Amino acid sequence: MNVPFLTDGQIHLSADSFLQKYHHTLDIPVPIEEIIEQKLDIQILSIKGFESGCEVSGSLSKDFKTILIDEDEFERQIQRARFTLAHEVGHSVLHHQLFTQSGGFNDLDSFIKFQNNLIDKDYKKLEIQAYRFAEEIIFPREKLKKIIEEEVKVLGGLPSLNVNDLNSILSKICQEFDASERAVFNKIKRDYPNIIEIAESATSF
Amino acid sequence: MDFHQFIRKKRLELGLTLRKFCKQNSYDTGYISRLETGLFLPPNSERRLEKLANAYGIQKGTQDWVEFSNLSDVAKHQIPKEIDSRVINFLPAFFRKASKKEVKKADVEKLLKLIKGRQKK
């Protein structure tokens, strides 16, 4: 399988078009489970011991009709589960055609062969693309921008931010978008690195 | 329409996600999601079957009840091999272990076992 490179702009476009089609109000937190089950007609299969047994917390079935997710994560780590589900939706939107064109697999032997033939470079591309797509739908860009700007203003402006302010911003975003701290931190680090740099440099003195 | 498709349709008509439905009716998400994907058979006990129907908003004596009962009877008569042959459809499109180790037959067997789950009698 030859996985094409997708720019962030291409992924943004796909995510924007997805949100426009399935959640045009852009209300947050984005109701990812409702979108998956009711609008995309994808089933969720909750599997006990999936992560400990298979070293993955989520996967998309070969017919792209079911998302497999670790039961403990789904039931008890809801914010993390929301991101995992959005990530699998990312595969569904971005990689369905690619998988079909590759011929996929039909039995256990061809499954093993297919997975082991997928080179690391291609697998990484698939994962990064699905991850970025998930970020774009869990944190709709304009909503995130607005909340960050409001928070920064309340805290006295960008130059005066310290680590406590940064934590307060991150916590507000977690709450508003129903997202895990880790997902929020990664998103801010990539899209708003100046906030983290300023807050951390204020603390180092 | 099969039993699993029927009950899933009923849940979606109630406007409930898997999570909300299970929370509201004190079911494990693993159990309901396997029932709704046809990996588990409907319960044998009448009491459990009625509880299930009730959770899906299906009242005794209605046309939905007749359909629910008929479809569950058909589903219960499936032979295990039929279910086994369906499990393969749930294999992940893209699968790599966090350790990045090569996927072996034992991994797939474990994966299939986890997907299938074990239905309580």
Burial class for B78, CB neighbours closer than 10 Å (0-12, 13-18, 19+): middle
Q: How confident is the model at residue A199 (pLDDT cuts 50, 70, 90)?
A: confident
Nearest CA of chain B to the CA of A191: how many Å?
26
- Whether residue A123 is found in the same domain as residue A149: no
- Whether residue A80 is found in the same domain as residue A159: no
All residues of chain A having their beta carbon less than 8 Å from the beta carbon of residue B85 are none
**Chain A interface includes B74 (CB < 8 A):** no
Residue type at B65 in one-letter notation: W
- Domains in chain A: how many in total? 2
Nearest CA of chain B to the CA of A78: how many Å?
10
Give the residue from A121, A138, A155 where a domain finishes.
A138
**Chain B interface includes A99 (CB < 8 A):** yes
**Residue A201: predicted pLDDT:** 86
Whether residue B14 is predicted with pLDDT greater than 90 in this model: the reply is yes
Q: What mean pLDDT, rounded, does chain B reach?
A: 93
pTM of the predicted structure, to 2 decimals = 0.95
Q: How confident is the model at residue B121 (pLDDT cuts 50, 70, 90)?
A: low
Give the domain range for residue A168: 141-201
Indicate whether A170 belongs to any domain: yes
Nearest CA of chain A to the CA of B48: how many Å?
21
Q: How confident is the model at residue A1 (pLDDT cuts 50, 70, 90)?
A: confident
**Chain A interface includes B1 (CB < 8 A):** no
**Residue B24: predicted pLDDT:** 98
- Whether residue A90 is found in the same domain as residue A34: yes
Question: Nearest Cβ partner of A60 from B8, B19, B93?
Answer: B93
Nearest to A188 by CA among A137, A139, A125, A150: A139
- Whether residue A26 is found in the same domain as residue A124: yes
How many angstroms separate the first and last alpha carbons of chain B?
Answer: 25
Return phi, psi of residue B28, to 5°: -75, 140
Indicate whether A3 belongs to any domain: no
Give the residue from A118, A138, A158 where a domain finishes.
A138
Indicate whether A2 belongs to any domain: no
pLDDT digits (tens, 9 = 90+) for A89-131: 999 999 999 999 999 999 999 999 999 999 999 999 999 999 9
- Whether residue A91 is found in the same domain as residue A190: no
- Whether residue A85 is found in the same domain as residue A183: no
Instruction: List A59's β-bridge partners, or say none.
Output: A68
Average pLDDT of span A128-155: 97
- Whether residue A39 is found in the same domain as residue A97: yes
Indicate whether A1 belongs to any domain: no
All residues of chain B having their beta carbon less than 8 Å from the beta carbon of residue A90 are none
**What is the domain-level CATH number for residue A71?**
1.10.10
Other Cβ atoms less than 10 A from the Cβ of A148: the count is: 18
- Whether residue A131 is found in the same domain as residue A160: no
Asked if residue A3 lies in contact with residue A98, where contact means CB atoms within 8 angstroms, the answer is yes
Asked if residue A46 lies in contact with residue B35, where contact means CB atoms within 8 angstroms, the answer is no
Tell me whether residues A123 and B98 touch, CB distance under 8 A. no
Give the residue from A122, A138, A154 where a domain finishes.
A138
Tell me whether residues B115 and A68 touch, CB distance under 8 A. yes
Nearest CA of chain A to the CA of B110: how many Å?
7
Question: Nearest Cβ partner of B99 from A37, A44, A55?
Answer: A55
Tell me whether residues B96 and A56 touch, CB distance under 8 A. yes
Dist. CA A140–CA B107, nearest whole Å? 37
Sheet with A66-70, side-by-side order of all strands: A43-47, A66-70, A58-60
Average pLDDT of span A8-16: 97
Dist. CA B45–CA B121, nearest whole Å? 9
- Whether residue A115 is found in the same domain as residue A47: yes
- Whether residue A167 is found in the same domain as residue A183: yes
- Whether residue A146 is found in the same domain as residue A124: no
- Whether residue A161 is found in the same domain as residue A92: no
Tell me whether residues A71 and B36 touch, CB distance under 8 A. no
